[in-house]
Amino acid sequence: TAKVETLEFQSEARQLLQLMIHSIYSNKDTFLRELVSNASDALDKLRLEAFRDKELQVDTDDLHIDLDLDAESRTLTVRDNGIGMSREEVVALIGTIAKSGTAEFLRKLKDNKDAAGQQDLIGQFGVGFYSSFMVADKVTLLTRKAGEDTGTRWESTGEGTYTVEPVDDAPQGTSVTLHLKPEDTEEHLYDYASRAKVVEIVRRYSDFITWPIRVEPEGGGEPETVNSRKALWARPQSEVTEDEYTEFYKHVSHDWSAPLETIRISAEGTFEYQALLFIPERAPFDLFMRDRKRGVQLYVKRVFIMDDCEELMPEYLRFVKGVVDAQDLSLNVSREILQKDRQIQLMRRRLVKRVLATVKSLLADKPDAYATFWSEFGRAVKEGLLDDFDNRDAILDIASFASTDDDEKPTTLAAYVARMKENQDAIYYMTGESRAALENSPHLEAFRAKGYEVLLLTDPIDEMWVGAVPEFAGKKFQSVAKGEVDLDSEEEKEEAKKHQEEYTDLLAWMTEALVDKVKEVRLSTRLTTSPACVVGDTFDLTPNLEKMYRAMGQ
């Protein structure tokens, strides 16, 4: 007799399931896109695994996704003969949410009371398999991993617990059976037990899936393939609609909202490839977390090779999603080979340039889209100022920063330089924890008083790149909190010199008295209202960095 175990969902998983059951998401059709997307991933993985591991006894000649409808029992089953899952994988992957930032996400969701805001958050998070519970009151998953003998049945109503039990005669792959909720007769929003509806959803959301998605014809018979299976990147650009790009983006990115921008690249000649890249509209939760993944996927001649191909996109553009399909690589290609391949390096160079150029054209032509982009991804892009020397200027061109010129709107460096005073030869900036803290700093006073604009840099990364990047458009970056600042005219300098002489004795005495605390006491040209301030030497650490190092125990 099989032993059935009842297990509890991890608490984050439980909370998400509750949200799905009392669905706040208005477009319920998306559950099918998620299940088909998972099935497609599972088929990709099986093909790859079979290719790499010749010992694996699997049949890869007839990989497909079947959708079975049973109107009488009101069930819909999505079945694939892909890689499948072991019992441990079922528990780990389906019973828990390993996504970093989930707890924080749920907190935000709770705080956000309005429905549109909640939907937006859910969309940004992506709920994958759990979206089944928008339309089903019970879900049964039967799976057997390729190469293993015993399968696993998983079942749940989504309310706190699920059961798992071993199954002897499970076919290889995974089937997910949804026990559909009663039809919503009042609103006629959905009837997912209807063939027409299911086919419509597949065509709308999953047409580009490369595997056949099959549905039995009305009245029975051999299942028919209902998707066109065309790789979007291989079709002429003029033939692909905006909606098709959007749905494809959602599949590769696991995002639920449309991308900000779509980029197509095609190279012919000795090293042929096509790329279809997307800039998302929102930063993922884990943009600054260590275990984030999923950037660009590598395909070779239409065959999926790997996710998150680091060799194709630098770290600072890790938010770019999409596919690169290379025609002249071997299907066996490994990370090690990719790292050494000159063609791959050239391709990466070109991809990076195109992404940066795309942002530049947003800046010129779609200021709102650019502003969204920069507020979501600017912090990551600025890492490139340290990592990518070749593109430093291109990054500076598309960067923008808060400044004393405008309380809200950040400025580009070009706009700053255009506003510089005639006698000004440096770009002034100040770094710190927040705009408010900077605004209260005495260091700003003299600059303000004399009408100089100062960039207010508050991201931790800013401290690093301002030290490393020598200049923009021939203008040096100069901290207002460091070293001598020369804001004065000749007369003012004369005046100051006289002053300094008058106070020589006092200053010498003060320097002596404060010998443990400061290097030197000087008369200030910085201050207008504060009596005194502490200034760093040109090559000193900034207070923020000092704090950081101290916190690290150095």
Which residues make up the interface to Mg ion (CB under 5 A)? 38, 128
- Residue 243 CA: distances (Å) to CA of 6, 105, 207, 240, 260: 42, 28, 11, 8, 13
Nearer to ligand ADP, 85 or 178 (CB): 85
Instruction: Supply 542's token pair.
Output: 């900034």
Size of the site for ligand ADP (CB under 6 A): 16
99 is in an annotated binding site: yes
Q: Decide the pairing of beta strands 296-300 and 321-326.
A: parallel
Closest contact distance (angstroms) between CB of 84 and ligand ADP is 6
Query: Which residue is closest to Mg ion by CB?
Result: 128
Instruction: Give backbone dihedrals phi and psi of 156, rounded to 5 degrees, phi first.
Output: -160, 150
Nearest CA-CA partner of 174 in 142, 197, 217: 142
φ and ψ at residue 381, rounded to 5 degrees: -60, -35
Residue 144 engages ligand ADP in binding (rule: CB under 6 A): no
* 503 interacts with ligand ADP by CB under 6 A: no
| Nearer of residues 53 and 393 to ligand ADP, judged by Cβ | 53
Could you tell me the smallest distance in angstroms from the CB atom of residue 135 to Mg ion?
A: 16
Residue number with CB closer to Mg ion (41 or 540): 41
Q: Which residue, judged by CB position, is nearest to ligand ADP in the bound state?
A: 128
Cβ closest to ligand ADP, residue 254 vs residue 382 = 254
Residue 360's contacts (CB-CB under 8 Å, 6 or more residues apart) are: 394, 397, 398
CB 351 within 8 A of CB 324: yes
227 is in an annotated binding site: no
Among 69, 76, 85, 198, binds ligand ADP (CB under 6 A): 85
Q: Minimum CB separation from ligand ADP for residue 279, in Å? A: 20
H or E element at residue 31: helix 30-52
Packed helices 102-111 and 115-125: angle between N→C axes, nearest 10 degrees: 170
Whichever of 42 and 402 has its CB closer to ligand ADP, that residue is: 42
Instruction: Determine, following the binding rule CB under 6 A, whether residue 201 of this chain makes contact with ligand ADP.
Output: no
172 part of the interface to ligand ADP, by CB under 6 A: no
Residues 6+ away with beta carbon under 8 Å from 143: 84, 85, 90, 151, 152, 154, 170, 173, 174, 175
Confirm if 42 and 80 have CB atoms less than 8 A apart. Answer: yes
Provide the 8-state DSSP code for 50. H
What long-range pairs does 179-188 form, CB within 8 A, spacing at least 24?
179/73, 179/74, 179/75, 179/136, 179/137, 179/138, 179/139, 179/140, 180/74, 180/75, 180/76, 180/135, 180/136, 180/137, 181/135, 181/136, 181/137, 182/74
Report what 503 binds from ligand ADP, Mg ion, none; CB cut-off 5-8 Å by kind: none
Minimum CB distance to ligand ADP smaller for 64 or for 366 = 64
Q: CB of 479 within 8 A of CB of 542?
A: yes
Please select the residue that binds ligand ADP; options are 95, 123, 128, 284, rule is CB under 6 A: 128
Shortest spacing between CB 318 and ligand ADP, in angstroms: 17
Closest C-alpha among 333, 324, 272 to residue 302: 324
Q: Give 34 or 207: the residue with its C-beta nearer to ligand ADP.
A: 34
Is 335 annotated as belonging to a binding site? yes
User: Exactly one of 156, 174, 424, 478 binds ligand ADP (CB under 6 A); which one?
Assistant: 174
Cβ-based nearer residue to ligand ADP, 42 or 202 = 42
For residues 323 to 362, the per-residue mask of contacts with ligand ADP, x marking binding by CB under 6 A and - elsewhere, is ----------------------------------------
Near ligand ADP by CB under 6 A: residue from 50, 74, 82, 444: 82
Nearest to ligand ADP of 286, 439 (CB atom): 286
* Pairing status of strand 400-403 against strand 296-300: unpaired
Please report how close the Cβ of residue 90 comes to ligand ADP at its closest, in angstroms.
8
Sign of CA dihedral 537, 538, 541, 545: positive
Annotated binding residue 174: yes
* Structure tokens given for 405: 């010129």
80 is in an annotated binding site: yes
Q: Is 127 annotated as a binding residue?
A: yes
Q: Which does 521 bind (CB under 5 to 8 A by kind): Mg ion, ligand ADP, none?
A: none
Choosing from 83, 260, 399, 480, the residue that interacts with ligand ADP (CB under 6 A) is 83
Give Cβ neighbours of residue 120 (< 8 Å, ≥ 6 apart): 257
The answer to the question of whether 100 is labelled as a binding residue is yes
Site for ligand ADP in 24-63 (CB under 6 A): 34, 38-39, 42
Could you tell which of ligand ADP, Mg ion, none binds residue 206, using a CB distance below 5 to 8 A set by kind? none
Question: Rounded to whole angstroms, how far apart are CA atoms 108 and 112?
Answer: 6
**Is the Cβ of residue 126 or residue 384 nearer to ligand ADP in the bound state?**
126
Decide: 230 and 208 in contact? Cβ < 8 Å: yes
The entry of Mg ion, ligand ADP, none that residue 42 binds, CB within 5 to 8 Å by partner kind:
ligand ADP
Q: Please report, as residue ranges, which positions from 240 to 299 form the binding site for ligand ADP (by CB under 6 A).
A: 254
Query: Cβ 143 to ligand ADP, closest distance in Å?
Result: 7
Q: Largest Cα–Cα distance of the chain, in whole Å? A: 104
- In the sheet with 151-156, reading across from the earlier edge strand, the strands are 5-8, 161-167, 151-156, 136-144, 173-180, 75-80, 65-70, 213-215, 224-225
Residue 129 contacts ligand ADP per CB under 6 A: yes
Q: Is 314 in the site for ligand ADP (CB under 6 A)?
A: no
Residue 17's binding partner, choosing from ligand ADP, Mg ion, none, with beta-carbon cut-off 5 to 8 A by kind?
none
Residues that bind ligand ADP (CB under 6 A): 34, 38-39, 42, 80, 82-85, 93-94, 126, 128-129, 174, 254
> Residues marked as binding for ATP?
34, 38, 80, 85, 99-101, 124-129, 174, 335
> Residues marked as binding?
34, 38, 80, 85, 99-101, 124-129, 174, 335
